[in-house]
């Protein structure tokens, strides 16, 4: 399978910094936010994004991970342990590496429906623009129109980040 590099480490870090600045601009009056990264790669991206936000602002980020079956999210339990934290009146930022159809994010939102958050936002490194579910990304590193057969592969390994079109 041929892989075409679309983002190297430097480009991913540049886009992450830009997303961090946008998040701070849209949440400048907040002292605290809740960030929920979608496992596995979305959580790694959330960790990097959290560091960037905290480096440029005084916003405190409470980071959590959510685990769900991305292929069959309605068939499996969605794992989100908030460690007793209520999300009522909180700004919540969901983070994933790639937004394809919106299905993963649609199901990831389910556990927070029992709360009354102040604001819910979505940040993704790459948005594929093939939405089948009513979920839009608020903060996007790269918007990419692809064919339905093409896939995006994001690798976020220690000090070597990359994204490929396959």
CA dist 123 and 92 (Å) reads 11
Residue 156 lies in a domain: yes
Q: How far is CA 47 from CA 36, 38, 43, 55, 97, in A?
A: 10, 11, 6, 12, 12
Higher pLDDT, 77 or 21: 21
Structure tokens at 5: 């590099």
Residue 82 lies in a domain: no
CA dist 115 and 125 (Å) reads 27
CA dist 31 and 51 (Å) reads 15
Residue 10 lies in a domain: yes
Question: Nearest 5 degrees, angle CA 50-CA 150-CA 42?
Answer: 15
- Looking at the predicted structure, is the pLDDT value of residue 1 above 70? no
CATH number, domain containing residue 132:
3.40.50.2020
CA dist 108 and 94 (Å) reads 8
Residue 30's domain comprises: 4-66+87-165
* Contacts with 153 (C-beta within 8 Å, 6 or more apart), sequence order: 3, 163, 164, 165, 166
Residue 71 lies in a domain: no
The tally of domains found in the chain comes to: 1
Q: pLDDT averaged over the chain?
A: 92
Q: How far is CA 5 from CA 18, 64, 134, in A?
A: 20, 30, 29
Question: Nearest 5 degrees, angle CA 22-CA 48-CA 65?
Answer: 100
- Looking at the predicted structure, is the pLDDT value of residue 158 above 80? no
Share of the chain above pLDDT 90, in %: 73
Residue 159 lies in a domain: yes
Residue 147 lies in a domain: yes
**Band (74; pLDDT cuts 50, 70, 90):** confident
CA dist 73 and 87 (Å) reads 22
State pLDDT tens for residues 89-130.
999 999 999 998 888 999 999 999 999 999 999 999 999 887
Question: Which of 111, 165, 108, 115 lies closest to 135 in space, CA to CA?
Answer: 108
Residue 76 lies in a domain: no
């Amino acid at each position: 399978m041929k892989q075409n590099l679309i983002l190297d480490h430097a480009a991913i870090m540049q886009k992450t910094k830009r997303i961090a600045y946008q998040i701070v601009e849209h949440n400048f009056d907040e002292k605290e936010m809740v960030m929920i990264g979608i496992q596995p790669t979305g959580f790694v991206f959330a960790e990097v994004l959290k560091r960037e936000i905290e480096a440029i602002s005084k916003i405190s980020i409470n980071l959590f991970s959510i685990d769900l079956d991305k292929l069959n999210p309605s068939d499996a339990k969605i794992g989100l342990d908030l460690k007793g934290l209520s999300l009522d009146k909180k700004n919540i930022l969901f983070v994933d590496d790639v937004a394809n159809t919106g299905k993963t994010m649609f199901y990831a939102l389910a556990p927070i429906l029992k709360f009354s958050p102040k604001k819910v936002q979505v940040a993704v490194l790459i948005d594929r623009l093939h939405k089948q579910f009513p979920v839009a990304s608020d903060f996007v590193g790269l918007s990419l129109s692809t064919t339905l057969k093409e896939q995006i592969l994001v690798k976020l390994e220690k000090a070597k980040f990359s994204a490929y079109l396959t």
